[in-house]
Amino acid sequence: MVFSYIEVSDFALELTDTAGEKHYFKGCFPEVIFNIGDQVKVIAIPLNNHYAYAYSVIDAQKQYMWTGQQVERGRINYRIFSSKIGAFFGFLGILSFILFFVFTGDAILILTLDFVVWTLVFCFLSLILIGWRIGASFDDQSSLLEAILKKIGFYKPTMISLGSYSVSMVNIKNKVKDDEFFTRWKQYTYRIDLAQKADAEKYGKK
């Protein structure tokens, strides 16, 4: 199994099945390392006749998962965070607007005009909604990967923060020195066996 470039702008994963047929996947891998003959399961959706979009790859022993999807606890974390950022900038804008007119001596007059107040409120709420929408795109990735984790046997995937089980994080916890050359690969390669073990211990049937 090797990388194969289909177009200049697209890098893809080329897999050869036991019948000798080649399959191409793109979409989620900054770096993936396989050995010739490795058995893997690819979770993907078809895009066109040339290649499919892959969400994740899991090895046959379910020890490692490769994915570029984000998954965090709670599933609306990004929405909340982005909305807070939007609210912060909205508040900052309103404060700057008021301070500007305070120094010009027209603050009270300006704020008595209904259309100005409603415009400020509209801008504030718009920034919150924009933040919510931006965060939703990341939360959708979490929901997608949650479904994948549930499919492979996790009891409560909504409580799993997969980033805590990346190879790089596991190495840090175990005080293993990382090879800098493989750092990026280790950030997107997850010890799915350790994550599943922790999930079973906390949320499995007693």
pLDDT in tens, 106-152: 656 666 666 667 777 787 788 777 777 776 666 666 677 777 888 88
pTM recorded for the entire structure: 0.58
> Taking 70 as the threshold, does the pLDDT of residue 4 lie above it?
no
Mind listing the pLDDT tens digit for each residue in 167-192?
888 888 888 776 665 667 777 788 88
Domain map (residue ranges) of the chain = 9-72+161-205, 74-156
Cβ neighbours for 189, distance < 8 A, ≥ 6 positions apart: 32, 33, 64, 65, 66, 166, 167
Contacts of 66 (CB under 8 A, 6+ apart): 28, 29, 32, 56, 57, 58, 188, 189, 190
Q: CA–CA separation, 189 vs 64, rounded Å?
A: 7
Q: Which of residues 5 and 143 earns the better pLDDT score?
A: 143
Share of the chain above pLDDT 90, in %: 1
- pLDDT, greater one: 168 or 28: 168
C-beta atoms surrounding 157 within 10 Å: 25
